[in-house]
A and B are shown apart, each in its own frame.
Chain A
Amino acid sequence: MLSAIAARKARLQISSIKSSIKRRRHHHHPAAVKKARRRKYNTPPKAHSENKNVIVTTSESSESNPKQQQDVVSLDLDHSDSDSDMSITLDQENPQLIQPERSLEPTQRERRKVWSPSLPVVYSSDDASDASDEEPVADISQRPYNRPLTTDGPERLSTYHPVPEQNMFQLSPDEASALGLSGPAVVLVLSPSLAASFVGAYRMRVLRGSISLLGIIIHPSRVPHHVFAPRSSPIPVIQALVVRGESSKSLASIPSRILSIIDQGDVVIVLQELRTGIGGLGRVVRTFEGVFDQAGLEETIDVPLEGIHVVIQATRGMCAFQLPPSWEMALSASPLALSGHPVGLRKPHVLLVKGQKNSGKSTFARALVNRLSSWHRRVAFLECDLGQSEFTPGGMVALSVVENPIFGPPFTHPTLPHQAHYVGAHNPRSSPSHYLRAIQSLIETYRLDLQFASAFVDIEEDREDDRITDVIPLVVNTMGWTKGLGSDLARRIEELVQPTDIFLFDTSPPDGVEPDGPRVHTLEPVTPSPRFTASDHRALSLLSYFHAVFPNPIHSPPLRQTTASLWSTKRPLCARPPYELTTRLALDRIVLTGAGAEDVVRTELWRVLTGALVALVSSPSPSEGDEELFTPGSPPPDPASSTCLGLAFIRGVSSDGSKLQLLTPVPPETLVNARVLVMGELELPVWGWLDFRSADGGAGVDVPFLQWGRNTGAGSERRRVRRNIMRRAQM
């Protein structure tokens, strides 16, 4: 019966190819057709006995909006050969299955989802046994409203087409300096409700009118926004807003030649190059090669700035950023708007974002921070997701201070945390209680040091800012591990954080709201682009961190956001001069944490540290008589009295352990107290070991700890875990 469906599908494809060809003549948007995706889930339902051959087709909306339709095709299979009958019933009873609007030919990835008993099933986890990463395929189907971020994205990313001297003006140096800009600058004039999208990295200022970008509205100001728009993430769309009433304020000093030709409601923005060297990361992590470059052969008129490309139409693997309606509702809900409390009485909001993995938590949390930063001078961010952190590399819980909205995926804004604790894994499975203690310590830090900090710390610049300075709200991003121990941990975190608002990615309404409890906002989940896996993103974030150049925070006032804005990728990590540490002088303690750490004996320590990713931790000096550098099985530093300053990579150890060579992007001035090294389960991705300057990554050279070529011998693979294997009896 299975093959009947597959055969049927094949026939459908042929017919849909024909129909789609017809449609294309009308639309001229092949991308749109391709995007109308059909998601299938090869999920055997849990209850089998009665329901043989169930085909469920749920559609959120009518035919008029076919793109939103989601269907869950659950096949409960038996092996009887009633194939032919079955395909006929399908025809008659479920005409919706034939959707000419649907994809004419599934993309490669989707095609693989077509279920077949002989089709190899993709392993659901990598061997890091990452709790937040491995969930059986079945889970997806539990979210019937789950839909890709891309689904009803505009097929055109830009409705704005740059035409020199009509709606795009290159500024002369004089004109630019009148606006307070230096370097090449291009002014774009957007008619109301036009949208413009760019790939690359750019600085942007609004001169007149207002725009919306990644869910926040930007008014004219002197503050340039740094936007990173790689093709690996949803492309930010600059949407010119229709002017209402007095919001059409405009900055002076727009060159008169431009002023003379613009219409009443036109929006004016200025773009400048943003040269950070971040594009070089594509050479390091080859899976992301060229994500900041132009898509390909597409014909466009480009803005005359380097590293910025107009995208008219989405090409493969690219999609526009779209704010789902429920997100917009949650974002504009009351607590975020200015509350009526007089200054001094405001209670800071503590906003907790939670939901399953891959539901869009991080994206939403970022939008939340951005929205808050429209009113607040500073926003605090507590990262509890060890797998995919927003501001720090993974493996740590971190409390960061954000001063400006962030436009870009996490790897574009590595930031030194205000305080952080290293857990040393992509999930808290091996050390749940340490994880909780770490969060507790960060919450205390927030309550003591941050929430009313500005009242005690007087910062000159704050006076010029018209945003709220006296309270700092907190956004908490949680991990995606929401089952079993994970749900228990999530509950404990909630108790620690005591949020005023919870943003919940869930389809079922919360069961009973306590009157005094936090407000709960329900959000619809989105699925991220399938082009890159979580481990791809982790590799990129970590290597972005190691190649980043951080400003020296010593010179800046307290409560400053220290974010890297430059990347150095001229040399691979292996060719950088490292720091050399004299172990005896520089270090108090070395701690190994994670499963199996207790079994590492002293004589093997230096071997273990070679090639290790370690956290640099500042912790009180050990008491007298406790001066052993390494004690097997010793616990990690107590979060209550320590902080993690950053990560380092140990590239070499002398045979007696007296000298260590390590690489770290953390400014050395801040490392005075980093006298403890903590090694966890995290590793530097192999990309970081390679010399990207040679085509084969240095395969010719004898690199220790790396193996090229094949495995000989049985069992030379790492163990793989599969949780979606079925027994014959289940059929």
Chain B
Amino acid sequence: MNVPRPRPHPRRVPWSTLTEIDQLCLWVYSEDAHDSSRDRAIERLSAWKFMTPLPHALESLLSILVAIRQEDTTSTASPSSSLSLRQSYATAIIRLVNGLVDPLQVGAYARPILSIAAQIGLPAWLVELRHAATHEDLPSLELLRDGAKESLSWLLQNYFLPMLNPALTPTLPRSSIRPLEPLLRQYKSLLKSVSRDASLRTRHEADVSRVLREIERWLSEARITADARTSEFGWQSYAPTAGDFTAADGDDPREAWALDRLCEALLLRGALVPISRKKRDPPKGSHRPPSSLLVIWTPLLEKIAANHAHFFATLTSHIVAHLLANPLEECDDAAMAAERASYDVCLATWCAWLAGCHHGDEIDAEVAARREDVFLQLVHALDPHHETPQRSQQGARALLRALCDSDRRLAGISATILSMAHVSSVNVANWNERNLEVMEIRLKEVLSVSGPVGDSQPSADFEVEGQGALPTGWRLLSADGWRPCPIGKGI
């Protein structure tokens, strides 16, 4: 599936192992840290900074340490101007705060720095200090010195400790998002009244767009929350700007997280699928959602999709995942089961709508790709030999039918697969060499249907030829004498 989840990818860091971070932390923070150990820390950080861009916390640490050391040395040498010292401190604090706050300015408009600082637990007075140092009189040396101390300990608590002991508390306050359901309910009732009485349209238009905006705002809040919840992502390091790995722009985990929450809310009963079972049934002979539902929800869905490229893909995968989920508690209660089935079928019509089934073959590449993804997942899961109670997959089957009805190519593939499955189910006991041939033939059949799969370039390869005369002091290590090892290992 060509989707938003990035593969976990490493990033370049200046330390070879975490022990080096530990060492650095000791140089700066340990009980018996002294001037010369802090000098070592400054040297190490300067070296790292030259090797590769530093994480912001370390860069800030470096400037604060340098300012502190500057004070130590000047106070003994010459008590001349305090201005340059104050400037060093001020710059260090300004850059620390800016660097921590800026990544959270994700909207088009600036959010107040104080509110972001509160979100990440940065003391408000550091923000005030930053403001004063930037726009007002340069604060006094004493205040700046305190600010630097506060910053140092903030970095220890919020950067070094979590980094060295990932198991220890995430010190970030875990913010939560407000529920989306009330907004969706509000939207639904507005649209409902508009759809029933066209004369209300103009009157409610402003309200509708206000709610739409509210939902959009909710999404951006969710993104911010996602940021604060980094601990939930295994792939957070894959920042959208991470230099060499700039991914397609949808691959932003925060965006994905926010969309996931939105889709969850949409899938609750009472949203895309109405609570009343009567209102769920698709129109006869079609696979679309009932028009009463379409009227209500399409404006919202299209609006979100217009702003969030991955929305439709995310929603589709949520629905498919739901349809294919095989709940452990098979409901004994017939009424419950019927309810579930009807819910699933209604969801399936939405998925069919997302896959452009009502447009038949005339869809663009994006929708086609989505449709193919859905189809693949369904076919994979609805294996004819799969032992699952029919009812639990009724929705998925309905969806598969919808796909096949609207797309002849998929119908063809589906028929091929099904027929092949029926031909014979090989009995394990009767396994013989013939079976392999049969499998081979089937493989060919399947491949001929799906067309050539992207084949790789003929793997012609060329090795560096034997060496000529090497300059003095140079030696090419031979393939036998040298054992490959990861780059950066000491020799």
Contacts and interface: CB of A to CB of B under 8 A. Distances in A.
Contact of B303 (A3, A120, A580, A691): A3
Given A654-B491, A661-B491, A119 B475 contact: no
Interface stretch (B137-145, B188-196, B452-460): B452-460
- Residue from the set A293, A659, A707 with the largest chain B CB neighbour count within 10 Å: A707
Contacts of B252: 120
A611 B487 contact: yes
B457 A9 contact: no
B232 to A, nearest CB: 9
B249 A122 contact: yes
A577 B478 contact: yes
B299 to A, nearest CB: 7
Interface in B190-226: 202, 205-206, 209-210, 212-213, 216-217, 219-220, 223
A121 B255 CA distance: 12
Contacts of B475: 579-582
Interface stretch (B156-164, B178-186, B374-382, B427-435): B156-164
Q: Chain A contact residues: over half helix, strand or loop, or mixed?
A: loop
A710 B462 contact: no
B471 interface: yes
Interface string B238-252: 011111111011101
Nearest to A315: B365
Interface string A688-716: 01110000111101111111111111111
A376 to B, nearest CB: 31
B455 A126 contact: no
Nearest to B221: A118
Nearest to B159: A713
Nearest to A568: B462
B8 to A, nearest CB: 6
Contacts of B454: 290, 293-294, 296
B208 to A, nearest CB: 8
- Residue from the set A607, A687, A713 with the largest chain B CB neighbour count within 10 Å: A713
Contact of A703 (B9, B488, B491): B488
Nearest to A285: B244
- Residue from the set A105, A123, A715, A716 with the largest chain B CB neighbour count within 10 Å: A715
Interface in B30-52: 43-44, 46-47, 49-52
Interface in A578-597: 578-587, 592, 594, 596-597
A235 B53 CA distance: 36
Contacts of A573: 487
A34 B364 contact: yes
Contacts, number: 421
A255 B415 CA distance: 49
B163 A713 contact: yes
A652 B56 contact: no
Contacts of B54: 718
Contact of A653 (B202, B217, B490): B490
Contacts of A287: 245
Interface in B8-22: 8-17
B243 A727 contact: no
Contact of A277 (B240, B461, B473, B479): B461
A128 to B, nearest CB: 6
A626 B286 CA distance: 87
A7 interface: yes
A20 to B, nearest CB: 8
B477 A683 contact: no
Contacts of A652: 487-491
A3 B217 CA distance: 12
Given A3-B209, A596-B50, A108 B309 contact: yes
Nearest to A605: B47
A707 B13 contact: yes
A282 B455 CA distance: 13
Contacts of A594: 50
Contacts of B354: none
B334 interface: no
A410 B47 CA distance: 33
Contact of A109 (B11, B249, B367): B249
B59 interface: yes
B463 A669 contact: no
B244 A685 contact: yes
Given A296-B454, A696-B8, A703-B487, A683 B310 contact: no
Interface string B146-185: 0000000001001111110010001010000000000000
Interface in A215-251: none
Contact of A710 (B100, B233, B452, B458): B233
Contact of A578 (B50, B56, B206, B482): B482
A709 B8 contact: yes
Contacts of A651: 487-488
B12 A683 contact: yes
Given A570-B463, A574-B487, A13 B451 contact: no
A13 to B, nearest CB: 7
Interface stretch (A401-409, A444-452, A501-509, A533-541): A533-541
Nearest to A674: B471
Interface string A1-30: 011101101100110010001001000001
B458 A686 contact: no
Given A539-B244, A716-B57, A683 B239 contact: no
A533 B240 CA distance: 12
B108 A704 contact: no
B299 A120 contact: no
Contacts of A536: 244, 246
A716 B477 CA distance: 38
A203 interface: no
B77 interface: no
A473 B309 CA distance: 48
A608 interface: yes
A160 to B, nearest CB: 21
B218 to A, nearest CB: 9
B103 interface: yes
B455 A293 contact: yes
Contacts of A556: none
B365 A34 contact: yes
A128 B243 contact: yes
A659 B57 contact: no
Given A702-B486, A720-B102, A707 B471 contact: no
A10 B302 contact: yes
A699 B237 CA distance: 14
A669 B486 contact: no
A275 interface: yes
A519 B346 CA distance: 69
Contacts of B274: none
Given A81-B210, A604-B44, A569 B461 contact: yes
Nearest to B42: A599
B469 A714 contact: no
Given A579-B475, A668-B467, A707-B237, A608 B452 contact: no
B147 to A, nearest CB: 16
A481 to B, nearest CB: 19
A579 B223 contact: no
14 contacts: A105-B364, A125-B241, A126-B242, A578-B477, A580-B474, A583-B473, A587-B473, A611-B51, A611-B487, A652-B487, A683-B52, A698-B486, A718-B55, A727-B110
Given A120-B254, A668-B476, A715-B159, 11 more contacts: A13-B306, A599-B50, A603-B43, A659-B491, A699-B10, A704-B17, A713-B159, A714-B57, A718-B241, A726-B109, A728-B110
Interface of B: 7-17, 43-44, 46-47, 49-57, 59-60, 99-100, 102-103, 105-110, 120-121, 155, 158-163, 166, 170, 172, 202, 205-206, 209-210, 212-213, 216-217, 219-220, 223, 230-231, 233-237, 239-246, 248-250, 252, 254-255, 299, 302-303, 305-310, 359, 362, 364-367, 450-452, 454-464, 467-479, 482, 484-491
In the A-B complex, the 10 residue pairs with the smallest Cβ-Cβ separation, listed nearest first, are: A586-B473, A279-B457, A585-B473, A715-B57, A118-B220, A704-B16, A604-B47, A599-B46, A704-B488, A108-B309
